[in-house]
Structure formats: structure tokens, C-alpha cells
């Protein structure tokens, strides 16, 4: 069968003519698409209307693009077109919803209490219900009621105390992954401490000597406990902050892929949080993988400059647009936000990011205003 | 039971004696093996006869190697020997067939039309039947009737236009993976453009600012569409070609692992294409992973010098023989072909490369003449 | 229900009081935990008693920590506490057993015979029963009765001869992975040699030009044969040993994940072998992945300095605590052992290292005395 087609460059001119030639439903959907990109968050990046979205470079420099032409598509049936439209409707709904509201927000900064010069953090581990995306509620095991657990930020040389109350039905422990602390504080049951039984509390105390993007997580029955949410960021700033590269935005991005699905900071798309920066700003992203699989994170439109691995400066920065983050690894990158727009940012293992029903899981966006 | 054995070094001398002691079938197979390595393509690398294949270093420098000795193998039954011979026969058949003819060849260079200074590429996406290896025909979704789609090569600073006609039963879009183009041309439905419906055409136009080994692929229902073949190489040469290292051979190697099996440039072994170079030449290989799994590519006999990641020069080149290529990544390497022979070149996740029936999937060869 | 809890800092003071307040079984288990860390191997690192394990920094510098406090745990039932205790018992038993005796030890150095200046190694490939962890006996295919096969160490420029007798029920071959030898010695059946049939022997001879941490393994029906154990380390020292960095301990760590489970040097935890060093010493670890999956190896307490990839020096050393090792890759790292204690060292794909029954598989320890 033959269908008319539309070149986006001429959509503005052609829209009236086209509207009359098409069934109302598809017309509705296309308008919906425009509404989508003009929606709440995406409006922040000033998406242009479909007609304006035609390549700027075409405008005056090139002759007018041909009007829509019809071409034969032999194997496209009415049924498959309806199925394609239905697929697009679901894809559109996901994008329109982004960033979707969901109950609970993980990875929030936990301010320490200062007790006689010691930075004290209080954690409670407990089972809870966690909404990973709108309407998808699942059992999580969480520190302080959030997944990931609260972000702790200290400085190298600080004395740090972490109190943990175990209200889980299992024993637990905390390993400060990447911090070169005394063996007694390493958090491995039966090697460096007894397990923390249900109903017990326990205290870790140490002076982190090495700065960097570290993590903390359960080291007991960890395949289950970390998968369910007992993990978080533990950032150690250098003693001399002039050692740090300048960044206008500092964003921690914790990947997980366990029992609660493919998540970034505890949420799956469209409930993931976009990273927002102004044109010209530098964003620092601290990737942390607490899952069981690699996640090669791909940023559209701009490259990432890799500056550190597991908290240690790389000997020389290097550039990429797809960074393979393996379980247990942390990578720090800088993005110079010199390209305005809403840029998809996702795991490039495509089944972690998109299904026939649209984007899900490990997808977010970097919005450069 | 006891069986006589053969040291390869003395096979020439022993062959008559052996022939009389062995059943005709196995003798036939061994001769077949020699025929195999002397076959069409492999003859290019001048394989030597079995007797000559004995280590050269042994020839004069060391005393004659012992004649064949028999030793007892208690647990080897006649049945298992027959099974081993049958296995070898299948393995041999695969090698003999390499490089096997198959219908269709992907990744072929597409010359642009020049329209008023713009390099214009025309793509049509359509379903088709694709032969991944001899006799294995499967449904592919392809650009211009090939998997991978045609290779586009432009220069940084060129104005580029890509017209896409969608003759698929689903909507689609194209993302130019790695190219830092304007947001409107980024190819993400409902974020930067409407989906391209079945029967519609669409035009991308941009001036690629950053050179390197990039890719283009569908960004709509991509888990399926990319897996089925909607992908290709998009190579951006630097403005100043003196920035590029010298290479005598430039070979793009696109890895995929989806619904159509483990493939290199759309084909599984023995239908994969060998890389051929003369002794002393430098081969540049541009690895691109469009699949869902890592593929650590192992080159026999020579090392690879890694020069770029995702199109960006590494701060310093580094060497390896096994390069882990993750989904979405591109790695550029140079191989100085200083070791003559036919060198296996394969993914070192062995189940991606060999089964009990012989080599398959992600296996090719670098032939240094 | 309410349960009393224990802060580790006050365990010494509180232990008598606590003992009287607890059921004998749990008290027994806790004592067992102390016994565990004081066990054979772990005693080597002088683990301190529970009370001493309290953070040293707390001792005088901070005020006494509060005595154990009871807090309410609403959702913890007696049944779940019993289940948690039973889980802990299993976890403890694994740790206590480490390093567990098991039959057979792989990766043992094979001294060559010297024949007219040639270093000659004799290998026999045969089926056998192999104990991967106490009581878990499985079929292995092994060189010289061990998994991994014997370690061969030569020097670049040495003339090396490897004799292989095939007593397997299948044909086989050996590929010297990473060594840039003559094509005739590359070990790929039907490309560079005939397969070595059951009951046959074969000889490889070459002069390795490039030093580094290499491997040897079957290149015939390799998905099965390598998985079952036909693999080993092939270390080539540089001609000039002053090129090598100083190391007090040199440890090869071969990862596998095939039919015989997740193993380090052929054993799963607790039958894995710890790495032992004295405070201040430098340990060199040569990671080799002969499996089908990545294994990001995480060292607790100290970082690793990466010096080589596939035997080739990295342009500049770089630091990490989690090193992603892909199939076929080798990575050489140095660890400066400046932090005393028993440090867990494991694959950070947690299901490769811990189940509800405790640690297993790819777990060992670096013990700094």
C-alpha cells in the first residue's frame, strides 16, 4: 500500500494539508508528540516546535526541501501501522512523563552531627516499600528509608563515625568500599567483626586517608542485600580542595540491576532524575556500579572526560562518549556543557534501556539550558 | 587401549606407514585437513605442508625428533574416538569453508551525492532476508539492503544530509552515535523529533564537528531494531588528515550479538571476511559494538596498539592482544603486521566463537602475506 | 519485639553482662565467630579479639560509647531471627574453614628439562576428578593432573619446547595466548596444525620474543575444554630482569567460571589460597581470565597499581581497587602492603562470590602480617 510521508523540514507548511488527509487519531498522536517535548521538564530546555526542529542549517543556506512524497511500502499493512502507532503511543507516554514523580528519593545528602570533632552519621537499615517507577512498588532493604541510602560526604583526615541500627530480619554489616581504613572497620562478618544481628546496633569509626568517589554497602548476604538497596555513596573530599577540578554541578549516578530492576539512583525511567546544567557549565558525574552487570553509559551530544577511577586520578584525562562501568567500579568524569538541549543519557546495553513499550530502566537525560 | 601416535614433525616420513595402519576414513580426513589449509583463501598466506609446518627452529638446530610413539590411553574407547573424529570433521569443514560465500555483504561504502556542497546520503530501511552464514537465513531490518548498513565516511566540517525512507512496519529514527551534532538532529523520538512513521521519510542535516569512528543506528524500539540490523559505521575523518596515523589497510569491525546470532559485520564464521595485509603493512581496525554483550576481541600472533576510544585519541597509545569492547563503544587500534601467517582473530568469550561443531560466530582472521 | 544490642566498642566491658542475658546458642555462635577469626590461617594475620577490634581511634580520644541499647524492631519475628542465626552459622562456617584443604592444587611451577639448551616442558592432558571445594568433586580435563595446568616460566629469547600427550577422548591443541610466536606454532587446528587426536602426542617449539603474563590453553572445542580446565599460566620474563618492577611476592590469579563453577586457580572459596605478605612488602598479582564472563576483582583495604595489560607495560601506571578482567585478558598489578590485616579480595559481581549460604566461588584474601 501507499502512504503519504512527511519530511520534517516542511511539516509546518504541510501540516494543514496533511491533517485533512489523515485519520484523526494519528493526527492527535503527532500533536501529542509536540505536547510531549513541550512538557514540564523538557520545556526547561526550550524544545522547539516540530517545524522549528528542522535543521537550522537548512534554513537559508540550502534550497527548499522537496514537499512530502509518497512512496510504496509493500509490506506495511494497516494492522502493522496500527501496531506501530500503538507502540509509538507508549513510547511517547514514557517520554512525556519524564521526569515522573514517584514516592521517595534516594541518595540524599546526610549532614553529620558533630560530636567532639567527630562527624557522626546515623543509619538505620529496615525493610520498606520502594517505588522504582510510577506504580511499580517493590520490597527494598534501605538505609534511612531511601534507595540508594543517604550520601555521606566527608573530607580526607576527618574522623568519621557511622552508627548503624539493624532493623532487618537478617544480620548485616557495612563495608566502606574504596576507603583504606583500618582492618577492624572493614565490615566483613567473621573476618573483621561479628555480624550485626537483627535488633543490634554497631559503630564504625575511622579516618579516611584517601579521597575519592567511594561507596558503602552491606557485606553480608550481599548478593541479596545490596541488590535490594543497602548501598550508598561515600564521597571523600581531598584535604586540599584545590586538588579538585572545578565543577559547577556534582552528580552521583549509582547504577543497580538487581531484584528491583535496572535503576539509576534507585529509580527507573521515567522516574529517574535528569541532570540539569547551564550552557557553559561543567558537570562532574560520579558513576558507581552496585549491580551485577556492566553498564556502558552513553551520553548523547557531548563527550565525557574521564578523570578518576575508584577515586584515584587517572594519570592523564581521556575522552569518551560511552563509559563501561563494571560492578564495584567508580569513574569520575567531567562534561563541558557546550551543546544546548535535552540529551539522552543511558546504558547502551539496549535491553537495559528500551523495550517495545518504550524507554525504561537505565535512562536519564543531561539537560543543557 | 593403546593407539599409535604421530608427532607432526615426522608426519611426512611416517605418512605411508601410518596410512597402512589406519582405517581409510581417518586417513582421508587428515589429507582433507591438508587440503583445507591449502584452500582458496588460506592459500593466500601460503600455508606450508604438514611436514614443513614442523617448527622451523627444530630443523637443523636440534636433533631429529623421535618417531611416533604409542602410549596407553586407558579411558579412550573406540566409540569416543569415532566421536572425536566426527567432531574434528565438523571443525575442519568450517575452517575449509572460510571465507565462505554468502548472500549479501554489509558495511559497504556509500558514496554521497553532492548537492550544492552538501554530502547527501540516501537510506531506506526495510525488512529483508539476510544470510548470516551459509544456509542460515533470517529476518533482518536493514538500511539499503545490507547488514550492517552502508558505511558513510565524511570529513569534520562537511555539511552532511542523510535522507531516510522508512519502509519498515514500525516507526524508526536514526541516532548518530558519537557525533556532537545539534540537539534537533540527535534522533531520539519524542525528545528531539517525532518518530518516523512507516511510509514516511525524514532528513537529518548537520556539520560533524568531531572526527572519529562513530556509528549510526535506530533509536526507536532499539533493542529490537538495532539487534535486527539497523546500524552502521559513520566515520568522520579529521579536517587535517595529517592528524591521522598512517595505515595501509583501514578495516571497520562491527560486532553484534542479537536475534541474528554472534556476528562480525553481519556475518558469522565461516562467512566472515578476513582482513588481509602484506608483511610490514599497518592495519587500522575500528571496533564498534552494536550488541548487548561485551566482546573481548583477541588477535593471535601480534599485538594491537590502541590509539582511540569513541573517536577520541587516547592520551598515549597502549598495547594489548585482547581488547574488551563494550556495547556502544568504539576502539581504534593499529596492528603492525610483522608476523606472516593466517592468524585467528575472535571474541574470547569462547561460547561466542566455538561450539562442539566447530568455530562459528565471532571469528575471523588476519592474514599477513 | 525488643532485643538487646551490642556496640562493638564496648563488647569487652559488656561481655559478662551480655552473656547472662542471652540464650546459650547465640552466645556459642558469637564465641564461634571469635574462634573463626582466630583460626589457622587467619591467626597468621594476628586477628585481635573482639574487644580489641574496636576502633583504635575511639579508645582514649573519644568518650565512652553508650552501653548496648535495646530498640524496637517491629517486623522481626522469632522465626526470622532463627533464620538469620542459621544463615550466619553457614556464613561463619565458610570463613572458619578458609583456607580449606582440598585435594589437588593447580598452577604449580613446572621446572623444565634442559635438552641441548632448550627448555622442555612435558604435558599430558587427561580427564580426572577435581575437587573445587571441600566435598565438591567434578570432572575436569587437566594438564598434568592439575587445574589450572602447571605454570611454565621462561625468559624472552629462550628456546622452548612443549610436548603434549593427548589422553583425552577428544582431539585437542595448545594455543600460547599472547606469545608472538611463528604461525606454525599457534595451535589452531586446521589453520596452523592438524588436531592432536586422542592417543597422539605433539610438540610445539618456539622462541618467545615478547615477555609478559601470558597463558596457554586448548584451542580445540575450547568452550568445553578450557571450561573444564585445559588452561594454565605461561609467564615470559623479560631478557633483562631489571626491566621488571620489584615485587616481594609474585602471585598468578587465574579466573574461571565454566562448568566447574566460579574459581580462582581452580578452587572456589573456602578452598582458595590466600595471598600472604609482610607489612611493607610489594605483591605483584597477575590476573588472567580464562572464563566466559567479566570478573571485576575488588581488593579491600589497599589499592592496586596497574602496570601491564596482556603483558605490555601500560604507558603510565594507574590506580584502582576494582579491576575489571575480561575473558582472555591479563592484567598485572602491584599492591604495596601498607595496611595490616586480612583483606577480602573477591569478584564484585556479588553472585560470583556470596550466596545466602555464605561466601563461595571467587573469594580469597590478601593477608598482610
**Pick from B8, B42, B76: CB nearest C193:** B8
- Which chain A residues are within 8 Å of B200, Cβ to Cβ? 3, 5-6
User: What percent of chain C clears pLDDT 90, i.e. is strictly above it?
Assistant: 76
Q: Indicate the range of A13-17, B248-252, C293-297 predicted with least confidence.
A: A13-17
pLDDT digits over A169-225, tens only? 999 999 999 999 999 999 999 999 999 999 999 999 999 999 999 999 999 999 999
Residues 6+ apart with CB under 8 A from A17: none
A290 and A264 within one domain: yes
> Are residue A194 and residue A169 in the same domain, yes or no?
yes
User: Cβ of B191 and A73 within 8 Å?
Assistant: no
Q: What is the DSSP string of B192-227?
A: TB--B-TT-EEEEEE---S-EEEEEEE-SSHHHHHH
Cβ-based contacts of B316 with chain C (< 8 Å): 315-316
Q: How many CA atoms lie within 13 A of A72 on its CB side?
A: 1
CA nearest to C364 within chain A: A191
Percent of all residues in chain A with a pLDDT value above 90, rounded to a whole number? 76
Instruction: Look at C314 and B318 and tell me if their CB atoms are within 8 Å.
Output: yes
Contact C348, A327 (CB under 8 A): yes
Q: Are C170 and C265 members of one domain?
A: no
d(CA A54, CA B182) in angstroms, rounded, equals: 11
With beta carbons under 8 A apart, name residues in chain A contacting B177: 298, 321
Residues A347, A263 share a domain: yes
Q: Does residue B270 lie within any of the structural domains?
A: yes
Which of A212, A243, A274 delimits the end of a domain? Answer: A243
The pLDDT mean for chain C works out to 84
Shared domain check, B151 and B271: no
Q: From the CA of C126, how many Å to the nearest CA of chain B?
A: 9
Considering the domain architecture, whether residues A220 and A271 belong to the same structural domain is answered as no
Residue of B nearest to A63 (CA): B116
Angle at the Cα of B329 from the Cα atoms of B142 and B360, rounded to 5 degrees:
60
Cβ distance B71 to C227 less than 8 Å, yes or no, reads: no
Instruction: Give the C-alpha separation, A139 to C330, whole Å.
Output: 40
Listed residue (A142, A102, A156) closest to A273, CA to CA: A102
Q: CA C116, CA C124: separation in Å to the nearest integer? A: 22
* Mutant choice from C198, C207, C214 vs B, greatest count of B C-beta within 10 A: C198
Residues of A in contact with C71 (CB under 8 A): 165, 167, 199, 201
What's the mean pLDDT when you consider all of chain A? 84
> Would you say residue A114 has pLDDT above 80?
yes
Q: What is the Cα–Cα distance from C248 to C328, expressed in whole angstroms?
A: 26
Helix (H, G, I), strand (E, B) or coil at A289: strand
Residues B254, B154: one domain? no
Residues A65 and A143 in one domain: no
Domain end among B192, B217, B243: B243
| Domain shared by C342 and C269, yes or no | yes
State CA B177 to chain mean position distance: 21
For residue C99, say if its preceding peptide bond is cis, omega within 30 degrees of 0.
yes
Number of domains forming the structure of chain A: 3
Query: Is A105 inside any structural domain?
Result: no
Facing residues of C256 across strands? C263
A to C CB pairs, distance under 8 Å: 217
Chosen domain end from C178, C208, C243: C243
Picking from B173, B327, B331 by the largest number of A CB atoms within 10 A of its own CB, the best residue to mutate is B327
Nearest residue of C to residue B340, measured between CA atoms? C183
Indicate if A217 and A277 belong to the same structural domain: no
Chain B interface, best mutation among A28, A33, A321, A341, by max B CB count within 10 A: A321
Q: In which residue ranges of chain B is pLDDT below 50?
A: 1-70
Over range A335-345, report the average pLDDT: 98
Mean pLDDT calculated for residue range C256-264: 94
Choose the closest CB to B326 out of A30, A34, A294.
Answer: A294
> Domain with A342 in it: what CATH number?
2.60.40.420
- Chain C positions in Cβ-Cβ contact with residue B48 (cut-off 8 Å): 184
* CA distance linking residue B121 with residue B164, whole number of Å: 9
Q: What is the structure's pLDDT at A288?
A: 98
Using CA atoms, how far residue A327 sits from B181, C40, C68, C121, C301, in Å, is 32, 32, 36, 39, 18
Please, what's the largest Cα pairwise distance for chain C? 79
pLDDT, residue C274, reads 98
Q: What's the confidence (pLDDT) of residue C73? A: 58
Q: Determine the Cα angle at B94 with ends B89 and B99, to 5°.
A: 150
Of the residues A98, A319, A323, A337, the best mutation for testing chain B's interface (the one with the most B CB atoms within 10 Å of its CB) is A319
Both A283 and A230 in one domain: the answer is no
pLDDT of residue C38: 32
Residue C283 lies in a domain: yes
Q: Which domain holds residue A200?
A: 113-243
Query: Does residue A107 lie in a domain region?
Result: no
Confirm if A150 and A110 have CB atoms less than 8 A apart: yes
**Nearest chain B Cα distance for residue C334, angstroms:** 19
DSSP B246: P
For residue A31, which phi and psi values (nearest 5 degrees)? -60, -40
Interface touch A195/C88, C-beta < 8 Å: yes
Backbone phi and psi for residue C37, each to the nearest 5 degrees, phi listed first: -70, -15
What is the tens place of the pLDDT at every residue in C162-214? 999 999 999 999 999 999 999 999 999 999 999 999 999 999 999 999 999 99
Per-residue pLDDT tens digits for A17-61: 323 333 333 332 333 333 333 333 333 333 333 333 333 333 333
B103 found inside a domain: no
**Residue C203 is assigned to a structural domain of this protein:** yes
Its pTM surpasses 0.80: yes
Do strands C159-166 and C201-206 pair parallel, antiparallel, or not at all (unpaired)?
Answer: antiparallel
Examine the domain organization and report whether C10 and C78 are in the same domain: yes
Amino acid at each position: 500500500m501507499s502512504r503519504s510521508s512527511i519530511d520534517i523540514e516542511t511539516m509546518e507548511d504541510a501540516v494543514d494539508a496533511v491533517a485533512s488527509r489523515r485519520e484523526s487519531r494519528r493526527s492527535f498522536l503527532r500533536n501529542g508528540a509536540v505536547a510531549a517535548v513541550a512538557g514540564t521538564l523538557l520545556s526547561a530546555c526550550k524544545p522547539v516546535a516540530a517545524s522549528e526542529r528542522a535543521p537550522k542549517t537548512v534554513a537559508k543556506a540550502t534550497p527548499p526541501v522537496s514537499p512530502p512524497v509518497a512512496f510504496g511500502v509493500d509490506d506495511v499493512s494497516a494492522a502493522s501501522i496500527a501496531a506501530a502507532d500503538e507502540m509509538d503511543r507508549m513510547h511517547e507516554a514514557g517520554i512525556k512523563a519524564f521526569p515522573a514523580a514517584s514516592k521517595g528519593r534516594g541518595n540524599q545528602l546526610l549532614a553529620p552531627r558533630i560530636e567532639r570533632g567527630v562527624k557522626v552519621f546515623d543509619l538505620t537499615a529496615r525493610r520498606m516499600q520502594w517505588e522504582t517507577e510510577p506504580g511499580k512498588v517493590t520490597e527494598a532493604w534501605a538505609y534511612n528509608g531511601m534507595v540508594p541510602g543517604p550520601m555521606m560526604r566527608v573530607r580526607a583526615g576527618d574522623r568519621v563515625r557511622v552508627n548503624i541500627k539493624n532493623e532487618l530480619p537478617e544480620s548485616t554489616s557495612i563495608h566502606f568500599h574504596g576507603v583504606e581504613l583500618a582492618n577492624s572497620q572493614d565490615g566483613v562478618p567473621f573476618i573483621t567483626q561479628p555480624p550485626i544481628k537483627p535488633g543490634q546496633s554497631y559503630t564504625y569509626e575511622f579516618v579516611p586517608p584517601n579521597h575519592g568517589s567511594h561507596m558503602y554497602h552491606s557485606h553480608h548476604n550481599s548478593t541479596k542485600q545490596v541488590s535490594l538497596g543497602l548501598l550508598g555513596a561515600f564521597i571523600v573530599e581531598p584535604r586540599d580542595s584545590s586538588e579538585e577540578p572545578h565543577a559547577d554541578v556534582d552528580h552521583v549516578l549509582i547504577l543497580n540491576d538487581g531484584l528491583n530492576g535496572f535503576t539509576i539512583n534507585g529509580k527507573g525511567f521515567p522516574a529517574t532524575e535528569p541532570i540539569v546544567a547551564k550552557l557553559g557549565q561543567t558537570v562532574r558525574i560520579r558513576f558507581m556500579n552496585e549491580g551485577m552487570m556492566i553498564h556502558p553509559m552513553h551520553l548523547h551530544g557531548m563527550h565525557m572526560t574521564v578523570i578518576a577511577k575508584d577515586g584515584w586520578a587517572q594519570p592523564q584525562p581521556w575522552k569518551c562518549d560511552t563509559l563501561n562501568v563494571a560492578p564495584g567500579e567508580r569513574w569520575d568524569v567531567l562534561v563541558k556543557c557546550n551543546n544546548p538541549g535535552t540529551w539522552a543519557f543511558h546504558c547502551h546495553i539496549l535491553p537495559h534501556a528500551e523495550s517495545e513499550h518504550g524507554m525504561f530502566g537505565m535512562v536519564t537525560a543531561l539537560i543543557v539550558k
